[in-house]
Amino acid sequence: MRPMRLDLAGFTVFRDETTIDFTDADFFALVGPTGSGKSTVLDAICFALYGTVPRWGGTRGLANALAPSATEARVRLVFESGGDRYVATRVVRRDSRGNVKTAGAGLQLMPPGFDPVKLDTGLSPDDLGEVLAGTAAEMDDAVLTAVGLPYEQFTSCVVLPQGQFADFLHAKPATRQQILVNLLGLGVYEEVRDKATARAAQAEAKFEAVDQALAGLADADDATLAEASARVDRMRELTGAVTEAVPEREAARAGARAAGTALAALDADLAVLDAVAAPDGMAELARAVAAARSGADEAAQVVALAEEREEKLRGELAAAGDESALRLLLKAYADRDKLAGEADAVRAAVAAAHGEHEAAAAALAAARVAAERAEADLEAAFRAHEEAKATDQAVALRAHLRDGATCPVCEQTVARVPAVPPGSAVAAAVAAGKAARAASEAARAAVRERDGAARELERVLVAARARQEQLDARLAELDAQLTGAAEPAALRRELDEHARLRRALEESAAAVRAGRDAARRARAAVDAAEERLRTAWRAFDATRDGLARFGPPAADRDDLAAAWATLTGWAGDEAERRRSERPGRVAAVAEAESRVTAVEERVAGLLADAGVPAADDPVRAAAVALERAEAELRELTRRREQAGELREQRAGYEREAQVARALAGHLRANNFERWLLAEALDLLVDGASRILRELSGDQYDLVHDKGEFFVVDHHDAGLRRGVRTLSGGETFQASLALALALSEQLAGMSTTAASLESIVLDEGFGTLDAATLDTVAATLENLAARGDRMVGVVTHVPALAERIPVRFEVRKDARSARVERTGR
């Protein structure tokens, strides 16, 4: 059983509605001042489930449930058991006569996934799921089914009341027997008798199985064991003999390897000496170097002569004067001749333009006079026309009429305008006017044309005069520049000499470049030939260095061919000398190999005599044979020991079957209770001892003898002493181990399956010293760390409370107690 949420109202010191949420409180403490109501929280859990509280002295005592002056008390507990969630509710009321009775009680199975946090703080019955019990009478069986423990076992296994924690550990044998009788219940005897009968059958079946196993171990007799032991001895002797022979074999092999190595070294020396030979072309290589050096010297002389001629030509060209100045003077002569011709042409053009301009001005004046006369003639014709119109009005009007128009004089429509009479003055005046107008327009056109021509000639004349001035000024500059200069022919001769010297200089520079290229090629040829010579010397030196261990003769560093001849002759002589040593070394190798063969044949004979197959590694083969012989001996020994153990087991199973059969018989007799209590006490002590070893760090085991409890101290050479000699912290561990064993073992002996998912200790820790308190705290932390149940502690000791992660602080004022969660 694991509490999830507790709701209180009017219950003892909790007058006001109070809710305590245990949902995630795997390890918690109820803390607060003395008398604040810490233990009342546990009372409420017990009351909600069983309708009573340990502190009420075993009676129902419903009046104790009511807060002072309260008329109603409500308790609701949401808990989890066996994976299901339940809600237990109890309501107590005081009637008008002062009598206190249960007004309501119920147990409901909550639907899957229902979150207790959603419950309000009111304790009115709600439809929270399937109703398992609806009255106080129905609650007893329903709670027993859900929790799996009756009230006495619940207060001994789940909620341990204050002051009674170590009672079971220190109780007298008769008192402890009575407690076990009360915890077991009378209904368990039949189950124990059935278990005893089943155990007897199991023991008899195991007895028969052991007999069959013993039949399979019949070959593990003394004779077989002696034979196996003798083979082990033989294999040990073989291992010693082979081990002694191995150094001799290894020495022989080392001698054979040394002889072989010496022969191989001689053959290697002969191969090296026989391989000494001079490369082809060593004499030609030296001649090629000399020829390349001679060619390089000749090319250097050619370059020096070419460079000397180049310097001489540069000096002559520098002494010939400034070529640019000569060219400037020649250009000045050419410019003067060109500009003089152009100046003459410009002067002629100015004279011609002046004449043309004067002729154009005269023509313009004559045109203007003709235009004035034409204007006068046009004016006269206009006056004659006016006069003719005045004289012949009809003709004048007729000139403006059209056929079908209205006459401006008579306002009659004129069907046809009559023709003008041939002799009419108006007609003559009109004709004369037209002729005068044409003459006037022609005269004005002639004036405009001659005026444009005159203006153009004047512009040309101005431009020609400006050019003439420019040319005259430039000619004056050139005359000043050429004053005292040589004639053009002399200047040209000097320029021709300059050109000749420059061409000679370019040819000389080309010769220098060609000579330098040839010199570089000759030098490269020298370097290549010398590098080939150096490479040949390096090859010689490498060959000679490879022969250093033989002591080769000194080499002539001036003649490569001679050096090679000396070295090859020496190598041939040295090879012949060493070749004479070879037959002796071959014989030494054969003798060493024969010694190896003799030792190996002797070792193989040792293995064959011992019945061990021949192997490349005789020591390992002998060791493997010894290991196998020892393994066979160990197996035979193990089988003999197993047979002995099986015989002991068979006797044990026989005794167990007899005891179980006797127990089953005693359970049908008057003394069956004594057998039952002995079985329960054995189970309890075994379980408590296992838990105590875990809590005490393997220091203590718990045992019992004639109803008394003792501890075996493994830190004191296994000393057995009474439990009353334990310190406070050790007593706490032993009592806790018994409490846990009770919760586990008695649950297994109960008629229903108990759900032991929590344990709450209401113990007075204030009397413990600091060291003992630290032991108690560590024990509780280890218990909580196991993770198999909720652990709760009721304490007012701050040092203990601070080590517990979740704390419910209980405080009380003049009206009611309150609970506040602190920690994480």
Give per-residue pLDDT as tens, 630-674. Answer: 777 676 677 767 666 766 776 776 787 778 777 777 666 556 667
State the CB neighbour count (10 A cutoff) for residue 431: 12
Q: Rounded to whole angstroms, how far apart are CA atoms 748 and 718?
A: 31
Q: Which two tokens stand for residue 90?
A: 């109890």
> What's the pLDDT tens digit per position in 186-225?
456 667 777 877 887 787 777 677 666 666 666 666 677 7
Look up tokens 């002589």; give the residue. 573
Distances (CA, A) of 622 to 242, 599, 603, 627: 7, 16, 11, 9
Q: Rounded to whole angstroms, how far apart are CA atoms 48 and 58?
A: 15
Task: Determine which helix (DSSP H) or strand (DSSP E) holds 490, and give its type and residue range.
Answer: helix 488-546
| Closest of 184, 205, 174, 196 to residue 669, by C-alpha | 196
Which residues on neighbouring strands pair with residue 3, listed in sequence order?
Answer: 79
Please list, in sequence order, all residues whose beta carbon lies within 8 angstroms of the beta carbon of residue 696, skipping any fewer than 6 positions away. Answer: 730, 733
Pairing outcome for strands 700-705 and 708-713: antiparallel
Mean pLDDT over 437-454 rounds to 80
Please list, in sequence order, all residues whose beta carbon lies within 8 angstroms of the beta carbon of residue 291, skipping any fewer than 6 positions away. Answer: 529
Mean pLDDT over 88-94 rounds to 93
Q: Rounded to whole angstroms, how far apart are CA atoms 730 and 723?
A: 9
Q: Is the pLDDT of residue 699 over 80?
A: yes
Q: Report which residue type is found at 390.
A: A
Q: Rounded to whole angstroms, how far apart are CA atoms 701 and 734?
A: 9
Q: Rounded to whole angstroms, how far apart are CA atoms 679 and 656?
A: 13
pLDDT more than 70, % of the chain: 79
Q: Is the pLDDT of residue 49 over 50?
A: yes
Identify the pLDDT of residue 751.
Answer: 46
Pairing outcome for strands 700-705 and 159-160: unpaired
Which residues on neighbouring strands pair with residue 9, listed in sequence order?
Answer: 74
Please list, in sequence order, all residues whose beta carbon lies within 8 angstroms of the beta carbon of residue 761, skipping any fewer than 6 positions away. Answer: 160, 165, 736, 739, 780, 792, 793, 794
Alpha-helical segments (H) within 24-133: 38-50
pLDDT more than 90, % of the chain: 12
Question: pLDDT category, 85, cuts 50, 70, 90?
Answer: very high
Written as one string, the DSSP assignment of 139-194 is HHHHHHHHHS--HHHHHHHTEE-TT-TTHHHHS-HHHHHHHHHHHH-TTHHHHHHH
In angstroms, how far is the first alpha carbon of the chain from the final one? 23
Q: Rounded to whole angstroms, how far apart are CA atoms 507 and 735?
A: 127
Q: Rounded to whole angstroms, how far apart are CA atoms 685 and 692?
A: 10
Most confident of 132-141, 394-403, 507-516: 132-141
Identify the pLDDT of residue 135.
Answer: 92
